[in-house]
Chain A
């Protein structure tokens, strides 16, 4: 399956998907030391996003969330790439300052955790291995 979206931050990455079907808050929602999701409202609470390709519909919460994404990168716990339905300021800014490839305009409901994907953010492409 090939999904086409829009580049927010360029770059390429491959790996295993972790998918939240709910909006995700990074400030207070993801532990920057471990990469574990702590957001009480999240459907991937308790799971680790480090080294995965992270997909969710959109960000929510404090704009300080951008810095949490930066901290994840500094601590080696960042996702390899970010896929969202709709980019907003918090996550986009975090991905830019952390240098994480990011694509938006993807229908996240088509994605499932555990799928293998390759992301070509420069072209806005997400390819899922069948």
Chain B
């Protein structure tokens, strides 16, 4: 891999330990994946935030980096944090503080694009939240690989990333055509479609025919589910996403999705209300439009929920919901908007038995953690809930 004079000096340690280690990570990844050079990035988004996930080992690494004077050189946001008992929260706050000391914005969200970290078409990024990677690549037409926590941090510090994978035109072409021969209309339909395809396809670049999403949230949800049950980081939707015109390569395999595939996912997550003691909306973190919808549904319902409702969202989105009065409405009906956190990365086993959600990604993880799960659209959940 070609390195500039300055990059060579960083690698040799002339600019200190932190930059040197960060550069070593980038150069090694560049060599492994055959990058020709490093390219500048516009922003970074870093996973490895919940203390549940990184543990003491990750904290020790971050602390050593902070002590060595590590600072990010591009706009950088964080993944959601965890919530847990007091002991957990103390460690969690310490993790956030370490990131803050490196100059990272403590906007802990898996949808940073609903805030200030909104890339534009063609921007190169180093993001590491799988659902955000999918959204940035597919819906926004920005370019990022599925980074790990340490590699996105290294890229944030150096301000560059190795030029390979989804940064290159040739790797952004579709590898399979998906003919959707089913009614895919609601949030949960898109979620179930994504969940099904993630399992079937693995790490392909699917090109969808027959989808007409009425809003970007549906694509966000489909991408998140695909990136959770599989490792899909980019997809194209004919007539909808910004790169579909250049996405078709010669001789692509075609697969079909049928009504029964979507139904099977929904049926797999249909535990009874008697087993549910929490409703979760906002995985990935809710947009303002999703919060508005919940507030309106609750008003239509007209009586408070017996089962508590949590909406997870970025703090910027919550601030807007506060300002527009949605938060107040939601709280009146036994709901709460919780900023900065994610239940999937929180040690909540024992807190709840069963979770009702409109997110295929959440359903996938909560089931694997041993919870009962009910997957349905926000409208049905709120109207049917006890």
A61 vs chain B, min Cβ distance (A): 11
Residues of chain A at interface, number, CB under 8 A: 22
- A-side contacts of B197, CB under 8 Å: none
Q: Is B31 among interface residues, defined by CB-CB distance under 8 A?
A: yes
Q: Is A56 among interface residues, defined by CB-CB distance under 8 A?
A: no
Contact A97 to B149, CB < 8 A, known contacts A63-B47, A64-B54, A104-B32: no
Q: Which of A38-46, A47-55, A84-92, A112-120 lies on the face that meets chain B?
A: A84-92
Asked if B61 contacts A67 (CB within 8 A), the reply is yes
- Give 25 A-B contacts (CB < 8 Å), ordered by A residue: A63-B47, A63-B48, A63-B128, A63-B149, A64-B53, A64-B55, A66-B150, A67-B55, A67-B57, A67-B61, A70-B60, A71-B55, A71-B56, A74-B57, A74-B60, A87-B28, A89-B29, A90-B148, A92-B29, A93-B25, A93-B29, A93-B148, A96-B28, A97-B25, A97-B150
Asked if B148 contacts A70 (CB within 8 A), the reply is no
Top-5 shortest CB links A-B: A71-B57, A63-B148, A67-B58, A67-B57, A93-B150
Asked if B61 contacts A87 (CB within 8 A), the reply is no
Asked if A64 contacts B61 (CB within 8 A), the reply is no
Main SS of chain B's interface residues? helix
* A90 to B32 Cα, complex, angstroms: 12
- B-side contacts of A74, CB under 8 Å: 57, 60
- A-side contacts of B25, CB under 8 Å: 92-93, 96-97
Q: Which B residues from 26 to 77 make CB contacts under 8 A with A?
A: 28-29, 31-32, 47-48, 53-58, 60-61
Chain B interface residue count: which class?
20 to 34
* A9 to B25 Cα, complex, angstroms: 9
In the complex, per-residue mask of A19-60: 1 if CB is within 8 Å of any chain B CB, else 0:
000000000000010000000000000000000000000000
Partner of B32, one of A62, A63, A70, A88: A88
Question: In this complex, what residue of A is CB-closest to B48?
Answer: A64
B368 vs chain A, min Cβ distance (A): 13
Contact A97 to B57, CB < 8 A, known contacts A92-B28, A92-B29, A104-B32: no
Question: In this complex, what residue of A is CB-closest to B65?
Answer: A97
Q: Is B21 among interface residues, defined by CB-CB distance under 8 A?
A: yes
Chain B residues with a Cβ under 8 A of chain A = 21, 24-25, 28-29, 31-32, 47-48, 53-58, 60-61, 128, 148-151
Asked if A64 contacts B58 (CB within 8 A), the reply is yes
- A-side contacts of B57, CB under 8 Å: 32, 67-68, 70-71, 74
Q: Is A8 among interface residues, defined by CB-CB distance under 8 A?
A: yes
Residue picked from A67, A87, A90, most chain B C-beta under 10 Å: A67
Question: In this complex, what residue of A is CB-closest to B21?
Answer: A97
Question: In this complex, what residue of B is CB-closest to A75?
Answer: B57
Partner of A66, one of B31, B60, B148: B148
* A96 to B29 Cα, complex, angstroms: 10
A64 vs chain B, min Cβ distance (A): 5
A35 vs chain B, min Cβ distance (A): 13
Partner of A8, one of B28, B61, B148, B149: B28
B344 vs chain A, min Cβ distance (A): 13
Partner of B148, one of A9, A89, A104: A89
* A63 to B21 Cα, complex, angstroms: 17
